[in-house]
Amino acid sequence: MANEILGIHHVTAITDDPQQNIDFYVGVLGLRLIKKTVNFDVPDTYHLYYGDNLGTPGTILTFFSWPNSPKGRRGTGQVTTTSFVVPENALAYWQERLTQHGIQVEGPTTRFDEQVLTFTDHEGLGIELVAHRGAAGRTGWTTGPVPIEYAVRGIHAVTLSVTHKERTISLLTQTLGFRLIGETGNRVRYEVGAGDNAGSGAFVDLLDLPHGTRGVEAIGSVHHVAWRTPDDEQELAWRGVLVSAGMGVTPQLDRTYFHSIYFREPNGVLFEIATDAPGFAIDEAPAELGSHLKLPPWLEAQRPQLERDLPPVHTPVGTQGR
């Protein structure tokens, strides 16, 4: 088919306290808060978006805030690790920075000829920093709290933990166009899009855990991973392909900054296909991204009540207006 998956669009996870989330992902990891909005389905809770200068597809990590929810458990049927790409010389900087913030770091270890640091955020979300030559082709947040020569440049890969890998492999390779590129132990890597020279977001790893414990979706777990497609026409074409393959797929949904369809792959991980357009500058100037509470038109009438109900949040000192 003419259309193809271009890579990872974004990963969405779940947090409890939105301010602590901002403090970590802006203040420690050095991502830009690119959009402060609400969960369109539960509008009295935040939906926070982080990424590079403009929220380029492939750099985006988002969080639903579920205050006072129980802690989740990483396990099978989930994205268990989100890996970010950093420049090849950056790991020593990151090891020191994370340690200074009280974060226990494992590594660096070698995987697929890459050097990897592994850790969790303050709520147990699995994160990796991967030193990769593809970082040179990405921008990152050029005026953030992390010097640009070390800054996170985008999402490199996601790791899916599965109990029946053959079913997911079939979907990835026969339906979505992924290609096998490597295997080590119980980890198998697939690639999509133009290849690793395109930079981050091209990879998905499958961890084969036939006797693994099922994950619990709640605080500190990933809700879904979204794959990129350029526009509505190709997204709707993908919907037709997935329906023909017997997948249960939602109608196309308007997420303001992109349009989406959702389905669960055979091991239960929630997948989304999201359009690159229209992007995050549709309702906020690039210099102002993340500065204001943005609502879709159908929720504007509720703004006074939502602004009373939502807890106030701010970006860490030293990152405002950057």
pLDDT tens-digit readout, 12-50: 999 999 999 999 999 999 999 999 999 999 999 999 999
Is 219 in contact with 16 (CB distance < 8 Å)?
Answer: yes
Higher pLDDT, 87 or 322: 87
Which two structure tokens, joined as six digits, stand for 187? 């980890």
The C-alpha atoms of residue 270 and residue 2 are separated, in whole angstroms, by: 25
Is the pLDDT assigned to residue 194 strictly greater than 80? no
Count H helices, E strands: the chain?
Answer: 5, 16
pLDDT in tens, 104-149: 999 999 999 899 999 999 999 999 999 998 888 888 999 999 999 9
Tell me, what's the pLDDT at 48? 98
Tell me, what's the pLDDT at 200? 60
The 8-class DSSP code of residue 173 comes to I
Tracing tokens 């953030």 back to the chain, one arrives at: 144
Give the SS3 label for residue 191: strand
CA distances 57 to 12, 150, 200, 275, Å, are 13, 20, 10, 9
pLDDT in tens, 224-241: 999 999 999 999 999 999
The C-alpha atoms of residue 184 and residue 164 are separated, in whole angstroms, by: 17
The C-alpha atoms of residue 177 and residue 171 are separated, in whole angstroms, by: 9
pLDDT in tens, 61-101: 999 999 999 999 999 999 999 999 999 999 999 999 999 99
The C-alpha atoms of residue 11 and residue 74 are separated, in whole angstroms, by: 15
pLDDT band at 214 (very low <50, low <70, confident <90, very high): very high
Tracing tokens 């405002």 back to the chain, one arrives at: 320
The C-alpha atoms of residue 168 and residue 160 are separated, in whole angstroms, by: 9
pTM exceeds 0.75 for this model? yes
Is the pLDDT assigned to residue 250 strictly greater than 60? yes
- Between CA 187 and CA 316, with CA 21 as vertex, the angle to 5 degrees is 130
**What structural domains and CATH numbers belong to the chain?**
8-309 (3.10.180.10)
**In sequence order, which residues have a C-beta less than 8 Å from that of residue 301 and are 6 or more positions away?**
none
- Between CA 226 and CA 169, with CA 189 as vertex, the angle to 5 degrees is 70
